[in-house]
Amino acid sequence: MTPRNVKRIILVTLAVVLLGISVQYGFGTAWQSQYTFAIAPAAKSKQPPAPAPKTAKPPAVQEPNTVMTPKPQSLSNRVVEYHINVSLREDARHLDGEQTVTWINPGKKTVSELYFHLYPNAFQSDKTTFMMESGGQLRQDKATSASQGHMQLNALQTLEGESLLPRLQYVQPDDGNENDFTLAKLRLPEPLEPGKSVTLRMSYEVKLPEVFARMGYSGSFVMAGQWFPKVAVYETAGTRGRTSEGWNVHQYHGNSEFYSDFGIYSVRIQVPEAYTVAATGFQTKPIEVKNEAKVYQFYADDVHDFAWAASPDFVYEEAAYSDTGIPGVRIKLYLDPSHAALKDRYMHAAKSALSNYAKWYGQYPYTTLSIVVPPKGAGGAGGMEYPTLVTAFSAEKPNPGYDLERTVVHEIGHQYWYGMVASNEFEEAWLDEGFTSYAEDKVMEAAYGLTPNLRLEASYMTDPAPLKQPSWAYGSHTQYAENVYMRAKLVLVGIENQVGTRTMQKILRTYFQKYKFKHPSTADFQRVVEQVTKTKWHDYFSQYVYDDQMADFSVEAIHVRPVKEDGKPMYESVVLIKRNGGTNGEIPIVMQFTDGTRVTKNWAAGETHIQYKQVHDAPLEWAVVDPNHTNVLDNKVINNFMQAQLPESSRARWSLGAAKLIEGLLGSLSW
């Protein structure tokens, strides 16, 4: 036996003892979790590139061919309008697009330039901002040698035919990276006055990357997300606390998702005849088949993005659904064949999500909701949200467990916080991801009886950071995910634990109803919390939203000594409790004595520490802070419990015994 092996035995013994204590005092479940991020698992293998079937006929399955008409009422300000004609080439690797885009100046100042997001250029080289920050990896999905892509603008003209391409300038306002071409500024020929509009014509080519980051191809499957030149958001004064109006523009970053303005989309999509298309919005014309191609016409209004997916292998299912807050929606499933038998589970998850979100927060106003299941190997396209269209996990497993339902529920939750409330994911991602993660847990509990292990989730918080900061300011994707998904959710649960479930529901419903289609900020949400609760929440938001604090409390020390009181032998027990982070309402402290007596104290935690002195006819056995873990922002629960020190006489015997044990162990190491 070597000294290293002895050390291992000692460490294992200590671990077993600690585990035993945790189980004895109710902490055993802290080692288990039912929580998962709604992010895609690692793709085990990539399908080799294969050209799209040229002459194959569509599979003999139901086609998504329901024609609808737009509703007359407007729900948003509709700042922008797109008319797009896009074709998927036979190789299923390239898009050819033409678009007419009209932008209305929503401000009170004359505007002299427009900004366009050209997101496919993030994959142009390994020197773009996205690729350098992500390291060619998003979540657990990695770029391949085929994961390069780009967007080439072939034409940019006025309605009169004047070319504006010479006026286009690529800009990098966040990092000055000259190799990044994801944001372009266009100097207009004439300044645009408030309330006036400008219409431009554009044509472009997109080379799709092999999918690893939301868009691209995998075999014959295509995910077209962030695929067209998109006008940036011009924020008016008062929007998200702005004191003066102006453009909100950023490059495509490794952690960042997106931010766009509401508008109208009319999109004509041409694909090889064997393909089926899923897209934002609804079809306004029957599918047209000619010249070995299939043409779809989609329309969507009061949305801020448009995405579509295509595959010759989709198994299509559709169901009409109505409920409270859901006047009528067609739920459309585009299933990978390996998950076709799971259609009822996908449909149940979608209905459960829609029903609960509509009941809790407000009406789902759209007439369609599409769910796309990517094939095995296309994990980078999975677990993503777009207006009226979401992608589930890729079909890696024949029986994915509750990850199937959880992902669908999470992504549909985005229809509210990303889709309708439309937070700025560049600068305040927690308002989308954190709110969606919170809502997801509520649906999973209501529909499937699954409750999150918040104690364990809090322990994952090893690198807390402020929530109100740009997405790319986080040090890594892990830190980004820990904070904007998990810590943000815990901040919301922390509010709920203080105000109660009913009041929290009122807070979130009020926030949604007040700010849907309005792009709110963190300060807007704080004001709603304060208005509903009629309480100031400045300290709470300062600590946990604008700062990086957690609410860690510890039993710092316990001292027990025999005393006499009125001639009777008693024990004086002194317990020192310490606050190691922020405050989070009253914290319960439980002290148990050897005769079974328990004493509970509630500490407001206004100071950094407090000392409790108890004189009792039995010695203190142990003390614990927050035994029921009502303080969900405590990320170091291991220091919440302490066994009391033994009385002096017992301690002497224990010390002698410990000395003999250590002496024996040291003796075994001699040679």
- Could you report the per-residue pLDDT of 37-63, keeping only the tens digit for each? 333 333 333 444 444 444 344 344 467
The Cα diameter of the chain in Å comes to 105
Q: Is the dihedral of CA 484, 125, 225, 221 positive or negative?
A: negative
**Is 629 within any annotated ligand binding site?**
no
- φ, ψ of residue 18 to 5 degrees: the values are -60, -40
Residue 315 near residue 335 (C-beta atoms within 8 A): yes
User: Which of these is catalytic: 485, 511, 540, 571?
Assistant: 485
Q: Left if phi > 0, otherwise alpha if psi is -120 to 50, otherwise beta: which for 653?
A: alpha
**Cα separation of 580 and 550, whole Å?**
8
402 noted as active-site residue? no
Q: What token pair was written down for 618?
A: 């039995």
Query: What's the sign of the alpha-carbon dihedral 217, 223, 225, 227?
Result: positive
Can you tell me the distance from the alpha carbon of 553 to that of 661, in angstroms, rounded to the nearest whole number?
Answer: 33
Please give the Cα distance from 662 to 60 (Å, whole number): 76
150 annotated to a ligand binding site: no
- Strand ranges across the sheet with 221-224: 216-218, 221-224, 308-311, 276-279
Q: CB–CB of 544/612 below 8 Å?
A: no
Tokens of 158: 């006025």
Q: What letter would DSSP give residue 166?
A: G
User: Per DSSP, what are the bridge partners of residue 570?
Assistant: 563
Q: C-alpha distances in angstroms, 308 versus 174, 298, 334?
A: 29, 10, 11
Long-range contacts for 101-104 (Cβ within 8 Å, ≥24 apart)? 101/199, 101/200, 101/202, 101/229, 101/231, 102/197, 102/198, 102/199, 102/200, 103/79, 103/197, 103/198, 103/231, 104/78, 104/79, 104/80, 104/195, 104/196, 104/197
- Find the helix or strand (DSSP H, E) in which 446 lies: helix 430-448
Task: Give the pLDDT of residue 7.
Answer: 40
The verdict on whether 621 is a catalytic residue reads: no
For strand 197-207 and strand 233-235, is the pairing parallel, antiparallel, or unpaired?
A: unpaired
Amino acid residing at 596: G
Q: What is the pLDDT of residues 619-647, one digit of tens each?
A: 999 999 999 999 999 999 999 999 997 55
Cα separation, 141 vs 377, whole angstroms: 9
Q: Under a CB-based contact definition with an 8 Å cutoff, are residues 79 and 212 in contact? A: no
What is the pLDDT at residue 475? 94
Selecting among 411, 427, 440, 621, the annotated active-site residue is 411
What DSSP string describes 91-145? TSSEEEEEEEEEEE--SSS-EEEEEEE-GGGGGS-TTSHHHHHHTTEETTEE--T
- Binding site annotation covers 616? no
- Residues 383 and 211: their CA atoms lie apart, in Å, by 13
Question: Which tokens hold the place of 112?
Answer: 């002299």
Q: Are 467 and 435 in contact (CB under 8 A)?
A: no
Q: Show Cβ contacts of residue 236 under 8 Å, excluding neighbours closer than 6 positions.
A: 106, 107, 108, 242, 245
Cα–Cα distance between 374 and 206 in angstroms, integer?
21
**Those residues with Cβ within 8 angstroms of residue 422's Cβ, 6 or more apart along the chain or in another chain:** 259, 260, 262, 304, 517, 518, 519
Determine the Cα–Cα distance for residues 614 and 622; give it in Å rounded to an integer: 13
Question: Which is it for the CA torsion 303, 38, 543, 534, positive or negative?
Answer: positive
**278, 359 in Cβ contact below 8 A?**
no
Question: CA separation (Å) from 390 to 82, 413, 471?
Answer: 21, 10, 22
Neighbouring residues of 120: CB distance < 8 A, sequence distance ≥ 6: 149, 150, 151, 206, 207, 208, 209, 215, 226, 227
CB 47 within 8 A of CB 219: yes
Among candidates 49, 97, 370, 371, which has minimal Cα distance to 211?
Answer: 49
234 membership: H or E segment, kind and range: strand 233-235
Which residues of the chain fall below pLDDT 70? 1-62, 646-671
The one-letter amino acid code at 110 reads T
Q: What are φ and ψ of residue 119, in 5° steps?
A: -60, -35
Question: How is 601-636 classified by DSSP, letter by letter?
Answer: EEE---SSEEEEEEEESS-EEEEEE-TT---TT---
C-beta atoms surrounding 60 within 10 Å: 6
Give start and end residues of each alpha helix (H) in 476-610: 477-481, 488-499, 501-515, 522-533, 538-544
Span 197-207, pLDDT tens digits:
999 999 999 99
Which amino acid makes up residue 278? A
pTM comes to 0.87
Give the number of other CB atoms < 10 A from CB of residue 273. Answer: 18
| Burial class of residue 573, CB neighbours in 10 A (0-12, 13-18, 19+) | buried
